[in-house]
Structure 1
Amino acid sequence: MGAGTVTVLGATGKTGRAVVAAALRRGLTVRATSRDPGHGAPAVVTSGGPDGTRSPQATGDPRLSWHRADVVTGEGLADALTGADAAYLIVPNVHPAEVEAVELATRAATEAGVERLVYHSVADPDDARMAHHLRKGAAERAVRRLRPDAVVLRPCAYLQNLLPSAVAGHLEVPYRLSAPFSLVDLDDVAEVAAAALDGRLEPGSTHDLGGPEVLSVLQLAEVAVTVLGRPVSASAVTPEQWRSGPGAGVDGSALEDLLAMFAAYDQSGFTVDPAPLARLLGRPPTTWAQLLTKESS
Structure 2
Amino acid sequence: MNEPQEFTLVIGATGTTGSRVAAQLAAGGRHVKAASRRATPVDGSRSVRFDWGDPASFEGALEGTDRVYLIPPLGDPDPAAVMLPFLHQARSAGVRRAVLLSSSAIPAGGPAVGQVHQALPGLFDQWAVLRPSWFMQNFTGNHTHARTIRADGTIHTAAGDGRVGFVDADDIAAVAVHALTETQAPDTDLIITGPQALSHSDIAAILTDVTGRTVTHRRLTYEQMRDRLAADIPAEFATLLADMDQAIAQGAEDRTTDTVQRLTGRPPRTFRAVAERELGRLRS
TM tier relative to shorter chain: 0.7 to 0.9
1:42-87 Cα offsets, whole Å, 9 max, x none, are x33xxxxxxxxxxxxxxxx4x3222222235533212111212321
Code of the residue aligned with 1:153 in structure 2: it is L
Deviation of 1:253 after TM superposition, in Å, equals: 2.1
The 3-state SS of whatever aligns with 2:179 is helix
Deviation of 1:102 after TM superposition, in Å, equals: 2.9
Deviation of 1:232 after TM superposition, in Å, equals: 2.6
Determine which of 11, 22, 25 is the counterpart of 1:23: 25
Are 1:96 and 2:74 counterparts?
Answer: no
Are 1:193 and 2:170 counterparts?
Answer: no
Map 1:45-124 → 2, pairs under 5 A: 61=43, 63-124=44-105
The 3-state SS of whatever aligns with 2:48 is strand
Q: Is the 8 A contact 1:210 1:271 kept in 2?
A: no
Separation of aligned partners in 1, 2:54 and 2:212: 48
Separation of aligned partners in 2, 1:141 and 1:224: 37
Map 1:1-297 → 2, pairs under 5 A: 5-37=7-39, 41=40, 43-44=41-42, 61=43, 63-126=44-107, 133-163=110-140, 164=146, 170-199=153-182, 202-242=185-225, 245=228, 247-295=230-278, 296-297=280-281
Code of the residue aligned with 1:156 in structure 2: it is S
Deviation of 1:190 after TM superposition, in Å, equals: 0.8
Q: Is the 8 A contact 2:195 2:269 kept in 1?
A: yes
Code of the residue aligned with 2:261 in structure 1: it is A
The 3-state SS of whatever aligns with 1:183 is coil
Deviation of 1:124 after TM superposition, in Å, equals: 4.1
Code of the residue aligned with 2:48 in structure 1: it is H
Which residue does the alignment assign to 1:47? none
Code of the residue aligned with 1:181 in structure 2: it is V
Separation of aligned partners in 2, 1:127 and 1:110: 20
Kindly tell me: are residues 116 and 199 of structure 1, through their superposed partners in 2, closer, same or farther at Cα, counting changes over 3 Å? farther
Separation of aligned partners in 2, 1:210 and 1:201: 22
Deviation of 1:272 after TM superposition, in Å, equals: 4.0
TM-score, normalised by the number of residues in structure 1: 0.80
Separation of aligned partners in 2, 1:277 and 1:245: 34
TM-score, normalised by the number of residues in structure 2: 0.83
Separation of aligned partners in 2, 1:105 and 1:271: 35
Deviation of 1:142 after TM superposition, in Å, equals: 0.8
Q: Is the 8 A contact 1:119 1:152 kept in 2?
A: yes
Deviates more, 1:240-249 or 1:18-27: 240-249
Separation of aligned partners in 2, 1:269 and 1:205: 21
Q: Is the 8 A contact 2:78 2:113 kept in 1?
A: no
Separation of aligned partners in 2, 1:256 and 1:124: 14
Kindly tell me: are residues 83 and 12 of structure 1, through their superposed partners in 2, closer, same or farther at Cα, counting changes over 3 Å? same
1:73-127 Cα offsets, whole Å, 9 max, x none, are 5332121112123211111234133223332222122111123221112214239
Kindly tell me: are residues 183 and 74 of structure 1, through their superposed partners in 2, closer, same or farther at Cα, counting changes over 3 Å? same
The 3-state SS of whatever aligns with 2:164 is coil
- The RMSD of aligned alpha carbons is 2.6
Gaps of 5+ in 2: 1-5, 141-145
Which residue does the alignment assign to 2:3? none
Deviation of 1:188 after TM superposition, in Å, equals: 0.6
The 3-state SS of whatever aligns with 1:19 is helix
Separation of aligned partners in 2, 1:16 and 1:193: 10
Deviates more, 1:222-231 or 1:80-89: 222-231
